[in-house]
Structure 1
């Protein structure tokens, strides 16, 4: 059977979205499943801040407004899901359930956090929505067997250095005493064991190589855990959507991280049908990888930032993005992509939390520029799928 899947970027919101001329957005979200990344924690009297930086706390009414607009599912594995710790996760799940929204990517233990949301597609078929965070984040935010948190798929970077530079680094560590200090901590289990190759320094893993380079891979245990869960979903005949939240950005935020396509290809080989990326607050290009739609960054859908002026002063384009609707055929192939360039929902007022108008369609040169950015990495076959 064929079906439609609507996707948007992150809904970073505090209060409810306020209706305005949003008929085009509502029409796009009229799909069998409509999904966004909730980058917030619902406020809870029992919770307390887990960070000293920005908190994004949403009201239950904010989630109600997402449901009223047409969303049916939320991804919740990101850097703001744990803003109030476990009580915030409980409050967010309760508010999502009350609003009629499924939620994936967080839970009271790792089994709950990694478990996909299952949404009906008709004729007995279901979609499995997984949500995972790629880091970097403190370990405390990630769920474990006896700890609430979010689902991890942590990316690890190994830095290659030519032999002479690696030797110089070893000498620096020896002069500082860092090598002996680390060995003493490792001996009693206070720090992780020594790397199998290379050396650890300043929180990084260095290896020998012909030139300076960064080598990325998903943490093996995290990847194996996800692959096992996806295999079970595939065995059950589910259509698999992966939501990946990432803060390992390029210096130019609008560019897809260099390592992301290789990770996407691994995940597609493990069973993913669609990959939705969020994290950087700007739109990044779409790709087709092995015939599967991959969105490394759909930017924002709602962005209740308290730093509007800083983004404007630095010319960071956080206020324009797209929402998409995929047409999937009976063989799980994407046959068309409806693309709606949008003006992102802004805060009602600087520093306020009363909500914001819903996003509205872009037009003219704004729409053309955003469409060009969205499609710049697509080949002719990929561009042929677009219905702007």
Structure 2
């Protein structure tokens, strides 16, 4: 890539309807889209299924009472019109509407000219890089997820056994580190003992204080890194994209910002060693840290870029789940009259998404320069805070806009607190308070 090549990454795109028509009447949204379009390369994580429910022949598959996210078929060309060129799709919502929904989404993205990676009819296709041709050079994307619904991970062929469609998965072994007093009590509940025990289907190990330990599967990671290396051999700029819900303070979900797990940084560095020019992470629906490694950026949490709480229709399963029926019975005098919007609102409120930090994000804009040996390194990195308008009407909530100065500084303060290894200076340019990273 030539010096001056610019890359912008945005987080989860949960967008149920086209929004391009609103840009002209929404100058704040228009400013964000102008920022997005200012880059040579624009990436996001597509966390929804794009289907025409009038003709769709598949079915919804809820998982753990989670939403079955669906988008109007006009969303694909709308995303392209707004400026997105390449999207990752390995995430826990890729098969919300089954294999049929996954394949229809692929078809609609192809028709819109948006390159996408991370899902496929078998493990090889889900793992493989996908490429975007730009005037400046060729871009490769490798997308994988450490958070995925059971049996949604794509499988490779094995002898006579066929592969399985799904997402490119990075399996994770999770261990809860607990205080020694609690560990002793858990040990007393069963016959096994030692440094690690399993109780109630959960692994526990003793520690001085509460924490989480995550260990990526070695075979999955080796397969992913091989595909990143292949992408680097066949392109000029590689994005490695991880979707991960794992967090250092996972048990505090809904109470405060989730902090990225330590393994994310380890995987990111390995990906850059394999040839990635940028590593991006989505999944926790809040801002994560920033690192710079070998002149390349690591973003461990990009939050949400579009966050649509207009989700219609929801599957009957979500309305009929006993836990959701209890919530509706507690909230409404006549729970049988509850709409999809009512259910989304009450689940959001109890599940931890009814807070402002879910509706706050950052948009990094990275500028690269070529080195004498042909590598690419950061020459500039700006971080733009973005508000998704928490508390506004559902028709406006979830649409990005520049925040006011106070909120922008608060978002940047959260980012700086989580990013001790980088020097971020707060500046104001054209009325937009943002951060500039010292990349020297």
After TM superposition, the score normalised by the length of structure 2 is 0.73
Q: Which residue of 1 aligns with 2:110?
A: 97
1:263 matched to 2:267? The reply is: yes
Q: Distance in 1 between matches of 2:74 and 2:36?
A: 19
Q: Which residue of 2 aligns with 1:4?
A: 6
Q: Which residue of 2 aligns with 1:184?
A: none
SS of the equivalent of 1:140 reads coil
1:212-270 deviation per Cα after TM superposition (whole angstroms, max 9, x unaligned): 76432211111011011122223335422111111123323243334432332333333
Cα root mean square deviation, aligned: 3.3
Q: Which residue of 2 aligns with 1:329?
A: 369
Q: Are 2:228 and 2:271, in contact at CA under 8 Å, matched by a contact in 1?
A: no
Q: Distance in 1 between matches of 2:121 and 2:78?
A: 25
SS of the equivalent of 2:272 reads helix
Q: Which residue of 2 aligns with 1:42?
A: 50
Q: Are 2:246 and 2:260, in contact at CA under 8 Å, matched by a contact in 1?
A: no
Shift of 1:209: 7.5
**Structure 1 residues 156-305: aligned runs within 5 Å:** 156-159=173-176, 169=186, 172-174=189-191, 198-206=196-204, 214-249=212-247, 250=249, 251=252, 252-305=256-309
Q: Distance in 1 between matches of 2:205 and 2:222?
A: 24
Q: Are 1:273 and 1:332, in contact at CA under 8 Å, matched by a contact in 2?
A: yes
Q: Which residue of 1 aligns with 2:151?
A: 140
Q: Which residue of 2 aligns with 1:342?
A: 386
Q: Are 1:28 and 1:324, in contact at CA under 8 Å, matched by a contact in 2?
A: no
Unpaired segments of 5 or more residues in structure 2?
157-162, 310-343, 427-434
Question: Structure 2 vs 1, CA of residues 223 and 365 (structure 1 numbering), >3 Å: closer, same or farther?
Answer: same
1:307 matched to 2:305? The reply is: no
Question: Structure 2 vs 1, CA of residues 382 and 63 (structure 1 numbering), >3 Å: closer, same or farther?
Answer: farther
Shift of 1:379: 5.7
Q: Are 1:230 and 1:271, in contact at CA under 8 Å, matched by a contact in 2?
A: yes
1:288-345 deviation per Cα after TM superposition (whole angstroms, max 9, x unaligned): 2343211111111111123387289953422222222211112311111233222227
Unpaired segments of 5 or more residues in structure 1?
180-196
Q: Are 2:387 and 2:402, in contact at CA under 8 Å, matched by a contact in 1?
A: yes
Q: Are 1:10 and 1:298, in contact at CA under 8 Å, matched by a contact in 2?
A: yes
1:69-89 deviation per Cα after TM superposition (whole angstroms, max 9, x unaligned): 111011111111110111011
Q: Distance in 1 between matches of 2:186 and 2:212?
A: 16
Among 351, 364, 368, the residue aligned to 2:405: 364
**Structure 1 residues 67-106: aligned runs within 5 Å:** 67-106=80-119
Q: Which residue of 2 aligns with 1:54?
A: 67
Figure out how many residues of one structure are paired with residues of the other and give that number. Answer: 363
- Structure with larger RCO (C-alpha < 8 A, sep 6+): 1
Q: Distance in 2 between matches of 1:89 and 1:152?
A: 15
Q: Distance in 2 between matches of 1:162 and 1:28?
A: 47
